[in-house]
Structure formats: C-alpha cells, structure tokens
Structure 1
Amino acid sequence: MGYCFDKEGFNQVLQELAKEYVVYAPKRFKNGGSFSDTDRIRYGEIQTVEEIVFDRKSDYSFKEILLPLSQTLFFFTEDAVKEANPPKKGAVIFLRSCDLHAVKRLDAVYLENGGEDYYYKRLRDKVKFVLMGCRHSFENCFCVDMETNRTDAYDAYLEIKSGKVYVDNHNEAWEAAFAAQSTETSEVIPAYVTKNENRVHISDGMTLDVMHSKMWDEYDSRCINCGRCNFVCPTCTCFTMQDIFYTDNGKVGERRRVWASCMVDGFTEVAGGGCYRKKNGQRMRFKVLHKVYDYKKRNGYHMCVGCGRCDDICPEYISFANSINKLADAIKEVSTNAGK
C-alpha cells in the first residue's frame, strides 16, 4: 500500500516504530570527516526523517549494525561462561538498493555457508529494511553493471518529493501505524538508477589463470594495506577473535568478535611464522577475485554490489572498478604467455 505523509506525520510513525525498534539511517556527523571542518555520513540512530541524508552516499555502510565492529559473544570466569545478552529491541535500517543486495551476501555467508552463525542470526531475525530511492547515480557507483540497482525485497520504500514523504509498505505489521498518520493513499513506485557514469565489465570466460597476470604487481607499491576498502565494504565479512582479560582479575574477561581485513598485515599469518600473502598485490588479487570470481562460482552471483565506497575511501586513489576492468587484458596476457 502506498501512503503520503507530511514530515510531522511520518515522524509520528517513527516514534511508533521506536517502541519496538532502534531506527538507523545515514546521518550527518558534524566535523567527523577525514579533514578539518568536514562532515561524515554514516549510520546512526535517528528520531526524525529530517536527520536522514538522502543527497549523499553514506561513507560507511549499514554493515556495522548487523556485524558490530566489536561484538562481545560471552563473558567468562575461572569456572563459568555467560552468553552476552542480545539487544532488547530490533532494528529498522534505511538503506539503498545496492546495500539491500549486500544483505543477501551477508546472509549467504553467515546463514547458508555450512550452518547458521548464531550471533548473526539472533540480530538478523529482528531487523527490518526500508529502501531509500536513488534517482541519480553517485560518484564511483557501478550498481547497474552489478545488477544491484533495483530490488523489491524491502519491508517499506521511502522517498521525499516536494516536501512530502511517500512510502510503499510491504510489511502488514506496520499498516496501522502508516494508515493512522497518512494524509492520503497514493501509488508509490520506487526510484532506481538506470545508468552509472562508472562502468565495469566482467568477462564470462575468466579462470583462475588470471592469478598469474602481472597486473597485480602494480599494487605492491600503490597499496599501503590500510584496510579501509574492507571496512567500508558492505559485503566484507571477515573477523578475528579477541579474549579481553580484566585488569582487576586476570582470569575473568570476555570474548569478542572483531572485524578483520584481508588487506592488512597479519591476516594470513599462521603458526610457525608462515604468511600466505605478504605482498600487497597478492592481497589485492585475493580481494578482487573473491568479489567477482570465486564467490559467484559458488553462489551464482557476484559478491561485489557496485556501491563504490572502496573507490571513495582509498587514500591512494586505487579504483576497484578499474581493477575489475583490467581483468580482460590480464586474461589475454596469461593466455598469450601460456601459448609461448
């Protein structure tokens, strides 16, 4: 059902939802940017629709709500273990189509990858999604070529036009709240991007032989292995474990799950001092092929959703989209070398 609200009426809806959910959306954090007097757009709790940033892509994704940067799993003493309590409320997340496609990737990794991750599932079961419309592409986006520019797998869709809030609701449990505050019913059709300035092409004939291309060597010197690309990516899922011991009693503490990055030092270190990918080019190769090759071989669709945040955040101006496009020449290179 489609509804139209004035902003005050929709804020009443948000207040109603807040009784059961914490509502998250991309919002502006004043002076939170990388440079002096610059802002940061990232996810945070909101109370009003005016707080939601619609005209800029969020610098960080929604991922930290479903996968907290540092998540306590359980507490321990010398002779007992206590599981950490789950959040008391569910979550409503406002996000764009590419990010909603990213949820599918996270679910595949944590719920369909040989078993269900208990801690992810107990959060995921309490989350609802509100799709934010995109009427134009942002810088570095390539969602159209990744086929993530549109979706109908949302609980509700929302956009603002001429100062009015328009909602397409798919969640029956929310009908009463919407109907009570709506000024009128109206057909609401989600707005989707149909063209990106940034284009990518992934060859259907790619094989793992592309690993032997010299294209990866350039990243040995260009990449500084800061891991920012992984941390802003909505589909990077790697983590490590940390046991934190309390200072007042060294035998009591907690176990935390903490984000990890395939691009930083130490990620592939193993017992005995071995390291599978010491060079930055080798790490870049692993990341790129995981996003656009081996994940698809297993799941039938690419892991990358084309949000372009990795290109936005990289301090060395490394373009992931360009890396994808270089694969075609890399395939030709290894094929030619194999024929010699």
Structure 2
Amino acid sequence: MGFKVENNRFNEILKNLKQEYKIYAPKRFEKRGRFSDTDLIKYGEISSVEEIVWNEKSQFSPKEVVYPITQTLFYFTEEEYRESLVHDKKILIFLRPCDINGMRRLDTIFLQNGPFEDIYYKRLREKVKFVMMECKESFDNCFCVSMNSNHTDNYSIAVSFKENEVYLDVKDEEFLDILKAYDEIDFKPEYVKENKFTVNIPDQEKITIDLFNNELWKDYAKRCIGCGRCNMSCITCSCFTTQDIAYDENPQSGERRRVWAGCHIDKFTTMAGGHDFRTDYGSRMRFKTMHKIYDYNKRFNEHMCVGCGRCDDRCPEYISFSKCINIVNEVLEKEENNNVK
C-alpha cells in the first residue's frame, strides 16, 4: 500500500519508532573522508529524514549493524564465563536493493553454512526490518545488474525521497497501522535497469585449475598493497578473527572478542607454528575473486558478490574488482578459442 508523507510528519513517525527501534541509515560524517576536506558516508543512527544520505553511495555497507566491527562474545574469569548481552530494541535499516541482497548472503554464511547457526549474528539479525531506499540510477562502479542484485521484494517498507516528501510502499502490517492516517497513493519503487559498467560473469563449467595458475594474478601481486579496504567495505565479506582481552586489574579475567578480518590483510592466513600461505598479494586477489564468483556459487547457486562497487571505490591503488572479473572471463574465452583451433 502506498503513502505520501511530508518530511516534518515523517520525522514525527521516526521519533515515535525510536521508542522501540534503533534506526540506521547512510549518514554524512563531515571532514572524515579519505582525502582532505572530504566527508565520509557510512551507517549510523538517525533521528530525522534530513540526516539520511539517499542520493550518494555510502562508502561502507550496513553489515556492521548486525555484524559489528568488534564484538564481545563472552566475558570470562578464572572459574566461569558469561555470554555478552545485546540491546533490547528492534532494528530498522534504510538500505539499497543490492545491500538487502548482500545481507541475505551474510544470512547464508552465518546461519546456513554448516550444522550450527552463529548465535551472535542471529540475535541481532532477527531484530532487523528493512526499509529499502529506491535506487533507480546507477552510481559509478556499480554493477548490480550484472550480478542480478538490483531488485528485491524483501522489505517492510520501500521509500522514495522527494524534495519535501517521502513516498512509501508499505508491506508490513505493523507500519500500515502507523501510516493509515496519511494520504494513500499509487506508488511502487523503481530499480536500476542498467549500470554504467557491465560485468561478464565467467561460465562456471569453463573454470579449471589452469585459471588458478594463470599469469593474470601476477599483475595484482605488483599493484595490491594488502590494506584490506576492499574487505572492510564489502557487504558480503564475513571473515573474522578472535582475540582474548585480559584486564589489567586481573589478567585471569577478560573478554573474548571477534574482530573483522579479510583475505587481503597480512597474517590472515598465519597458522600455528608460524606457517603462512597466500603471502603474495596476487594469490589473495585470486582467492577473493574465485570465492565471490565461483566457490560460493558452487555451494549456494548464486554469486556472493552483489555488485555494489564499494571495493572499487575504496581501493587506494585503483584496482577494479569488476574489471578483474571481466579479465577472468576474457582469459577463459581465449583459452576456449585456442582449444577449438
């Protein structure tokens, strides 16, 4: 059901919802960007529609709302441990279609990837309802259409922001009750139909071990610096490490935390005894690429990457993941043509 609400009245709705919900949206943090005098757009709690940055792409994804950068799992003493607690509010997240599809990939990894669910992820994730922000024009470096992530019906509310109004498509009964006093309209969200950049996904059947040993990965060994910005900005990167933090007052008590990690970052593959593999950066690029478009697909029948393009946006060496996928496809096509000859 569609509604039209003026901004000031929408702010009243947000104010009322904040009694039960933590509300997150892409938000501007002034002078905190990667270059001098530039702003950072990332997810944070909001109280008004004016705080929501809907006409620019956020540099970071909303995944940290349900999968925090650092998260205490439990506290321990010499004799016992106690699981950490979470806030008692529900969660409302304003996000784009590609990110909703990305959150579903996280659900797959944390809740369906093996016999056990990740309770620390689940207890936050089950609080979440999505407000999908209409996204009908592609940003630079986006390739969501190629990854089939430009569309979704998985939302409680869809919103389109106008100059002084918000248009809403409401599917959740809870929010229908809140909005029934407002003007009904015929509104359905539009979606991106074409990106500025097209990615050609390699045919899974054509990928062989030869691709993993191809010379193309050596170029990335020279260019990548292992900073991990691509991992940290990606909506579907889910790797983490764990740390035991001992308290100064009593070194035998403390807490265990899990902290984001990533395949591009040094020491990610360090094992007991000091053994380390994928030490060159080209092999790390190969691992990430094949996981996003091959390994995950073999198991779950869809690509892990959703084409948000944040990795391309954030890379200080201007390495393009989308172009890497195209290069992989070109290599495979060339090999196939050579075999035919």
- Same topology, TM > 0.5: yes
Matched residue, 1:143: 144
How far apart are residue 139 of structure 1 and its match? 0.4
Post-superposition shift, 1:54? Answer: 1.1
Q: Distance in 2 between matches of 1:60 and 1:80?
A: 37
Q: Summarize the Cα distance change of 1:332–1:199 in structure 2 as closer, same or farther, 3 Å threshold.
A: closer
Question: How far apart, in 1, do the equivalents of 2:339 and 2:215 lie?
Answer: 13
Counterparts of 1:1-340 in structure 2, within 5 Å, are 1-114=1-114, 115-180=116-181, 182=182, 184-204=183-203, 205-209=205-209, 210-332=211-333
User: Contact conserved, 2:94 with 2:132, CA < 8 A, in 1?
Assistant: yes
Cα RMSD between the aligned structures?
1.6
Q: TM-score, normalised by structure 2?
A: 0.96
User: 1:274-326 CA deviation, whole Å, 9 max, x = no partner?
Assistant: 22211100000000000011101110100000000000000000000000000
AA partner of residue 10 (structure 2): F
Superposition deviation, residue 66 in structure 1: 0.9
| Partner-residue secondary structure (3-state), 2:166 | strand
What amino acid sits opposite 1:27 in the alignment? K
Q: Give the TM-score taking structure 1 as reference length.
A: 0.96
- The 2-side partners of 1:42 and 1:162 are apart by 22
After TM superposition, the structure 1 stretch with the greater mean CA deviation from structure 2, 224-233 or 205-214, is 205-214
Q: Is the alpha carbon distance of 1:336 and 1:193 closer, same or farther for their aligned partners in structure 2, counting shifts above 3 Å?
A: closer
CA distance in 1, matches of 2:77, 2:263: 32
Q: CA deviation at 1:146?
A: 0.6
Q: How far does residue 201 in structure 1 lie from its aligned partner after superposition?
A: 0.2
| Rounded Cα–Cα distance in structure 2 between residues aligned with 1:333 and 1:135 | 35
SS in 2 for 1:249: coil
For residues 91-115 of structure 1, what are the alpha-carbon distances to aligned partners after superposition, in whole Å with 9 as ceiling and x for unaligned? 1000000000001100000011112
The letter of the residue matching 1:252 is S
The one-letter amino acid paired with 2:76 is: F
Q: What percent identity do the matched residue pairs reach?
A: 50
Letter of the structure 2 residue corresponding to residue 199 of structure 1:
T
Quote the Cα distance in structure 2 between the aligned partners of 1:82 and 1:93. Answer: 29
Matched-pair contact (CA < 8 Å) for 1:22–1:89 = yes
Equivalent residues of 1:241, 1:256 under 8 A apart: yes
Counterpart contact for 2:202–2:325, Cα < 8 Å: no
Query: Which runs of no fewer than 5 residues in structure 1 stay unpaired?
Result: none
Whether the 8 Å CA contact 1:16–1:177 is kept in 2: the answer is no
Shift of 1:336: 8.1
Count of residue pairs the alignment pairs up: 338
**Is the CA contact 2:158–2:170 (under 8 Å) kept in the aligned structure 1?**
yes
Residue 70 and residue 203 in structure 1: after superposition, are their counterparts in 2 closer, same or farther (change >3 A)? same
